[in-house]
Structure 1
């Protein structure tokens, strides 16, 4: 029997093109991406968690959705249906492309030297890059759904599609990435 995500999408054909993110994006086949916190005890075990579940956990950040994982998973399933209809691609592949485009490769850190503080440009680890991309995609979807006629699933689908196309005008996550990289560029 073949295991498909939400009993609809095959994740075995999904490809992670970015070599630095390959070890951190888990696309192992599961029916429902819900591990019940199994990977929360050890430091870097979140890399073992399915990427769709990590997206769901990021969508539960704000007080309105806290603890409502079943609701968030059904919203993600609805968003994936919309993505599949619009792009005619596997929505998990579109999500992976969005994460690759939305993760900043460079950012700044604050360094104090002799009483003077200045910003220094640093490379971003793949784990932090993925965390930032997931957080910004979730925040972008929440902000566009706030006081909007669109449903949350439609806003999430829009954010993922625009981020997968690296559309800086319409994707909050890609806009934030470009902003961070621009600040890092000036701090070199």
Structure 2
């Protein structure tokens, strides 16, 4: 029997093109992406968690969604259906492309030297890059769904599709990435 995500989408054909993110994006076949916190005990064990589950966990960020993982998984499943209808591609592949485009490669850190504080440009580790991309995609969908006729799943699907295309005008996550990289470039 072939294992498919939500019994619909095959994750074995998904390709991660970015070599730095390849070992951090887990797309192993799983039916329901719910590990019940199994991978939170050790540092860096979140790498073992399926990327779809990590997206669902990031959707539970705001007060009204806290702890409602089943609701978050249903929202992700609905968003994946919308993505599949619009793009005619595997929605997990579209999510991976969105994460590759939404993760900043460079950001700034504060350095104090002799009482003077200044920003210094630093490279971003692949793990943090993925965390920032997931967070910004989730936040972009939440901001878009606020006071909007569209459902949250539609807003999430829009955010993922626009981030996969690298659309700076429409995607909150890509816009934030470009902003961080611009600040880092000026701090070089």
SS of equivalent residue, structure 2 residue 64: coil
In the TM superposition, what is the alpha-carbon distance from 1:37 to its structure 2 partner?
A: 0.2
Corresponding residue of 1:48: 48
Corresponding residue of 1:152: 152
Question: How many residues are paired up?
Answer: 188
* Structure 1 Cα separation of the partners of residues 50 and 39 of structure 2: 10
Corresponding residue of 1:77: 77
2:8 aligned with 1:11, yes or no? no
* Structure 2 Cα separation of the partners of residues 184 and 71 of structure 1: 37
2:119 aligned with 1:119, yes or no? yes
TM-score of the pair, normalised by structure 1: 1.00
**Root-mean-square deviation (CA), in Å?**
0.3
* Structure 2 Cα separation of the partners of residues 26 and 157 of structure 1: 20
Cα distance per residue 1:43-79 (max 9 Å; x no partner) = 0000000000000000001111001000110110000
* Structure 2 Cα separation of the partners of residues 177 and 10 of structure 1: 29
In the TM superposition, what is the alpha-carbon distance from 1:92 to its structure 2 partner?
A: 0.1
SS of equivalent residue, structure 1 residue 155: helix
In the TM superposition, what is the alpha-carbon distance from 1:93 to its structure 2 partner?
A: 0.1
Corresponding residue of 2:26: 26
SS of equivalent residue, structure 1 residue 32: coil
In the TM superposition, what is the alpha-carbon distance from 1:32 to its structure 2 partner?
A: 0.3
Cα distance per residue 1:101-148 (max 9 Å; x no partner) = 000000000000000000000000000000000000000000000010
In the TM superposition, what is the alpha-carbon distance from 1:163 to its structure 2 partner?
A: 0.0
**Map 1:82-101 → 2, pairs under 5 A:** 82-101=82-101
In the TM superposition, what is the alpha-carbon distance from 1:99 to its structure 2 partner?
A: 0.1
* Structure 2 Cα separation of the partners of residues 59 and 72 of structure 1: 6
TM-score of the pair, normalised by structure 2: 1.00
**After the TM superposition, which parts of structure 1 deviate over 4 Å for at least 4 consecutive aligned residues?**
none
- Structure 1 unaligned spans of 5+: none
* Structure 2 Cα separation of the partners of residues 187 and 163 of structure 1: 26
- Structure 2 unaligned spans of 5+: none
